């Protein structure tokens, strides 16, 4: 290994800052916008607000319908995460550990479902959902989001379970565990970084999902945040400030979750790699 | 203490026959070793006894009770794995307590037994630590302790020493033997290392390609190998095996080709009296039984020294005998240099003959 010379270092820093700006730029712009008073919203300069204000946040958070949407989103995304993990972990255990025919086919179908373009399914689903009388309920979103999140969690968890040395499962069986006890007492704790990763993926997917939420919700009793924000613009004006404040308010739970789980996920990934 | 009996135990994976109708009895309280090269089916045999896999055919009895349909939990056997298989998310204490907790023993009893076992294995200071903080030898002890703590009727050990470095392996080997003497439990040990098999075991079984080759006391197997495979596998360095033709005539001999002959006088000739003239056989000579002499009467056993390997306490020699190569062991004081010619001698009782086609030993 040679010391990186100045040019390499400069190039690295340039690339790094380019990526950071590219990724964080929009979010920062939203944050700036959310703090601008109404009069400065559609003017440049100033780039930064001359009198930063929390007015937009107050407006948005006082709005009962916005809070209602946050609750809707929380309930739907939590249910989707819970169901995906519960079903996905047991299924992944079977796929990774128990010998049965057609494992590859099951995983293949799961992958195919997660690749399936939702837009193609919306029309037939709409008819089905209407026939079942589930329009504008949490249930329809929970069911549809789970259908798409579950294959992802299944894949993540299956690969995590496969990383666990098989002898641990056999040791647990000999130490007196039935297959399910071995699963809950040994394998599941060891796969917890995988569970965290899968939970995050499922939660973010459901939290951000727009198409189904737009199609199958009609009132604020079941409307989720992304749809709600998209419906902010009124007939005569677009409340950029409120939209920006609402977006940040809606994104922050996900960011907090990610930061909470990040260490565990990274820890888990490296622990698996070195077989410590 | 349990007697384990295998009857026509067979395991197939698809078309591959891993175990072929193995009959075997492990006596109660015995340290029994199944030895063979990798892929011989020894680990499968252990898994079948443990109940982790189901046999394709045949039966397993513990003290005359059939167990091959029972799950691992009902069989009450403990296993020590090559990789130790310690639960990484638990402390040493919890690892040791785990089998007892699964049996729903009282907290007080668990605590007492865990501490007893830890004391016995010198693990007390390590109890609050996690497996990743331990050395290889300590992990090995925890794995042993987890097996011992619930006093199973049978111990299964799957190459438990092969992940340790050479010095620690020898240390743990004698510890294991002492442990067996203290516990007097039935232990089935699986290894590819014939030195481990020889030193540890009351009896050993040699397995090759799913077939039981021979079963007996280590000394018996060493002194009276049943066939060519056992002869070549047990012993270090392995037995010299030379293929030749049996010739009678005025001087009976094994004709090893290219003018090399192994003369058969008296007893040796007698041992081959039922063997057909002109039949192919394999001559077996253990390196440690060959004695080299600088001069003497020419018996046609004139060999040329081609290589000297000092091993410290002894030297290993490589000798050219006609077209054949022989291995020999000599004391460390051995005085000779490459290129020198010697005569070798061997006791008649130490010469082995094997049927070249079937591989079985000719008595």
| Distance from the A161 Cα atom to the nearest Cα atom in chain B, whole angstroms | 14
pLDDT tens sequence across B79-89: 998 888 899 88
Tell me the C-alpha distance between A49 and A30, whole Å.
12
Q: Which CATH architecture has domain B4-233?
A: 3-Layer(aba) Sandwich (3.40)
Question: Are the Cβ atoms of A186 and B87 closer than 8 angstroms?
Answer: yes
pLDDT of residue A81 exceeding 90, the answer is: yes
pLDDT of A274 reads: 40
The second-level CATH assignment, the architecture, of B240-360 is: Beta Barrel (2.40)
Cβ of residue A6 closer than 8 Å to a chain B Cβ:
no
DSSP 8-state assignment for residue B251: S
Chain A partners within 8 Å of B77 (Cβ): 174
SS3 B307: strand
Could you give the angle at the alpha carbon of B169 between the alpha carbons of B166 and B171, nearest 5°?
115
In percent, the amount of chain A with pLDDT more than 90 equals 9
Does the pLDDT value for residue B167 go beyond 90?
A: no
Supply the pLDDT for residue A273: 42
| A220: pLDDT strictly greater than 70 | yes
Q: Which residue is it, tokens 């459901």?
A: A206
Residues from chain B contacting residue A171 (CB–CB below 8 Å): 79, 81, 85, 87, 146
Nearest to A190 among B47, B78, B89 (CB): B89
Same CATH topology for B4-233 and B240-360? no
Beta-carbon count within 10 A of B330 CB: 18
Beta carbons within 10 angstroms of residue A54's beta carbon: 11
Determine, for residues A181 and B102 on separate chains, whether the beta-carbon distance falls below 8 Å. Answer: yes
Distance CA A93, CA A188 (A): 9
**Nearest residue to B363 (alpha-carbon basis) of B231, B247, B274:** B274
- Which B positions 90-109 lie with beta carbon below 8 A of chain A? 98-99, 102-103
Domains of chain A, each with CATH number or no CATH: 1-53 (no CATH), 54-274 (1.10.3720.10)
Reported as type and span, the H/E element at residue A6 is: helix A6-35
* Residue A164 near chain B (CB below 8 Å): no
Q: What is the mean pLDDT of residues B160-175?
A: 85
- Percent of chain B residues topping a pLDDT of 70: 99
Kindly report the nearest CA distance between residue A166 and chain B, in angstroms: 9
Res. A93 pLDDT band, cuts 50 70 90: confident
pLDDT confidence bin for A99, thresholds 50/70/90: low
pLDDT of A267 reads: 62
Out of B47, B50, B89, the one facing A189 most closely (by C-beta) is B89
Is residue B281 classed as helix, strand or coil in its secondary structure? strand
Q: Which of A167, A173, A190 sits opposite B72 (nearest CB)?
A: A173
Question: For the residues B313-339, what does the mean pLDDT come to?
Answer: 90
Average pLDDT, integer, range B198-211: 92
Of A170, A175, A276, Cβ closest to residue B52:
A170
pLDDT recorded at residue A258:
82
Question: B250 vs B115, which has greater pLDDT?
Answer: B115
- Name the minimum distance, in Å, from the CA of A106 to any CA of chain B: 22
> CA of B155, closest CA in chain A: separation in Å?
11
Q: Would you call B77 an interface residue with chain A, using a CB distance cutoff of 8 Å? A: yes
B191 within 8 A of B32, measured Cβ to Cβ? no
Answer yes or no: do B81 and A167 touch at CB < 8 A: yes
The predicted structure's pLDDT at residue B294: 81
Instruction: Name every residue whose Cβ is closer than 8 Å to that of residue A63 and which is 6 or more positions away in sequence.
Output: none
Name the residue in chain A with its Cα closest to that of B82: A167
Q: For the segment A16-49, what is each residue's pLDDT rounded down to a tens digit?
A: 999 999 988 888 888 888 888 777 777 677 777 7
Q: What is the DSSP letter of B124?
A: G
Q: How far apart are CA B68 and CA B66, in angstroms?
A: 6
The mean predicted confidence, pLDDT, of chain A is 82
Among A97, A164, A176, A194, the strongest candidate for a mutation testing the B interface, having the largest count of B CBs within 10 A, is A176
User: Closest chain A residue to B72 measured between Cα atoms?
Assistant: A174
Could you tell me if the ipTM is greater than 0.90?
Answer: no
Contact criterion met (CB below 8 Å) for B336 and B308: yes
Question: What is the overall mean pLDDT for chain B?
Answer: 90
- Tell me if B132 and A189 make a contact (CB, 8 A cut-off): no
Q: pLDDT tens, A186-217?
A: 888 888 888 888 888 888 889 888 888 888 88
Contact, B212 vs B23, CB < 8 A? Answer: yes
Taking the C-alpha atoms of residue A230 and residue B310, their distance in angstroms, rounded to an integer, is 84
Does residue A40 sit in helix, strand or coil? helix
Domain ranges of chain B: 4-233, 240-360
Contact: B83, A165; criterion CB under 8 Å:
yes
Distance of CA A32 to the CA centre of its chain: 24
Q: Which residue has the tokens 């167990």?
A: B67
How far apart CA B270 and CA B152 sit, in angstroms, is 52
What is the distance in angstroms between the Cα of B44 and the nearest Cα belonging to chain A?
A: 13
- Predicted pLDDT at B143: 92
A170 lies within 8 A of chain B by CB = yes
Containing B256, the helix (H) or strand (E) segment is strand B253-257
- Give the mean model confidence (pLDDT) for residues B5-11: 93
pLDDT exceeds 80 at position B355? yes
Cα dihedral A136, A137, A142, A144 sign: negative
Q: Residue B282's pLDDT band (boundaries 50, 70, 90)?
A: very high
Longest Cα separation, chain B? 82
Mean pLDDT value across residues A97-123: 81
Of residues B255, B194, B199, the one with CA closest to residue B31? B199
Q: B99 pLDDT exceeds 60?
A: yes
Band (pLDDT 50/70/90 cuts) for residue A2 is low
Q: Report the Cα A221 to chain-centroid distance in Å.
A: 22
Contact B159, B36 (CB under 8 A): no
Q: Is the pLDDT of residue A1 over 60?
A: no
Q: Is the pLDDT of residue A272 over 50?
A: no
Nearest-Cα distance to chain A for B132, in Å, is 6
């Amino acid at each position: 290994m040679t010391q990186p010379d100045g040019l390499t270092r400069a190039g690295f820093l340039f690339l790094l800052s380019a990526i950071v700006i590219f990724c964080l730029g929009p979010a920062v712009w939203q944050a700036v916008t959310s703090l601008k008073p109404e009069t400065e919203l559609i003017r440049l300069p100033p780039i930064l607000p001359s009198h930063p204000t929390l007015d937009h946040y107050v407006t948005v958070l006082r709005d009962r319908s916005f809070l209602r949407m946050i609750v809707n989103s929380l309930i739907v995304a939590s249910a989707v995460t819970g169901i995906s993990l519960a079903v996905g972990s047991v299924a992944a255990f079977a796929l990774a550990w128990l010998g049965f025919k057609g494992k590859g086919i099951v995983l293949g179908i799961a992958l195919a479902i997660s690749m399936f373009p939702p837009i193609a399914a919306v029309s037939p689903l709409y008819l089905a959902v209407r026939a079942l009388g589930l329009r504008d309920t949490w249930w329809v979103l929970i069911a549809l989001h789970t259908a798409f999140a579950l294959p992802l969690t299944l894949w993540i968890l299956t690969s995590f379970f496969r990383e666990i040395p098989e002898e641990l499962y056999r040791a647990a069986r000999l130490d007196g565990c039935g297959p399910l006890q071995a699963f809950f007492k040994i394998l599941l704790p060891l796969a917890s970084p995988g569970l965290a990763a899968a939970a995050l993926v499922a939660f973010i997917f459901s939290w951000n999902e727009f198409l189904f939420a737009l199609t199958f919700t009609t009132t604020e009793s079941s409307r989720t945040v992304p749809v709600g924000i998209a419906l902010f613009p009124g007939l005569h004006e677009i409340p950029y400030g409120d939209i920006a404040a609402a977006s940040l308010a809606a994104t922050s739970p996900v960011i907090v979750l990610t930061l909470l789980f990040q260490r565990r996920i990274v820890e888990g990934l490296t622990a698996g790699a070195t077989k410590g | 203490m349990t007697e384990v009996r295998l009857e026509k135990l067979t395991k197939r994976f698809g078309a591959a026959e891993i175990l072929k109708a193995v009959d075997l009895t492990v006596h109660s309280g015995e340290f029994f070793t199944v030895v063979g090269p990798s892929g011989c089916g020894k680990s499968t045999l252990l898994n079948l006894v443990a109940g982790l896999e189901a046999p394709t055919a045949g039966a397993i009895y513990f003290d005359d009770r059939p167990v091959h349909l029972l799950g691992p939990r009902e069989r009450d056997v403990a296993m020590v794995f090559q990789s130790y298989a310690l639960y990484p998310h638990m402390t040493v204490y919890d690892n040791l307590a785990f089998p007892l907790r699964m049996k729903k023993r009282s907290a007080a009893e668990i605590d007492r037994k865990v501490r007893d076992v830890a004391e016995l294995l010198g693990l007390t200071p390590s109890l609050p630590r996690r497996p990743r903080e331990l050395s290889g030898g300590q992990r090995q002890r925890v794995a042993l302790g987890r097996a011992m703590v619930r006093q199973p009727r049978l111990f299964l050990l799957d190459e438990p020493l092969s992940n340790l470095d050479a010095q620690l392996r020898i240390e743990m080997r004698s510890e294991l033997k002492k442990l067996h003497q203290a516990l007097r439990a039935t232990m089935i040990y699986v290894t590819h290392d014939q030195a481990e098999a020889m030193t540890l075991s009351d009896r050993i079984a040699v397995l090759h390609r799913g077939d039981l080759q021979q079963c007996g006391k280590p000394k018996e197997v060493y002194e009276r190998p049943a066939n060519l495979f056992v002869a070549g596998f047990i012993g270090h360095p392995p037995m010299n095996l030379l293929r030749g033709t049996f010739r009678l005539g005025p001087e009976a001999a094994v004709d090893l080709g290219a003018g090399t002959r192994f003369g058969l006088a008296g007893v040796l000739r007698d041992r081959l009296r039922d063997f057909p003239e002109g039949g192919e056989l394999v001559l077996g000579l253990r390196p440690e039984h060959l004695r080299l002499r600088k001069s003497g009467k020419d018996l046609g056993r004139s060999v040329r020294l081609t290589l000297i390997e000092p091993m410290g306490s002894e030297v290993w020699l490589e000798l050219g005998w006609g077209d054949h190569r022989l291995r020999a062991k000599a004391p460390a004081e051995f005085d000779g240099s490459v290129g020198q010619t010697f005569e070798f001698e061997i006791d008649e009782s130490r010469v082995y003959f094997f049927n070249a086609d079937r591989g079985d030993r000719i008595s």
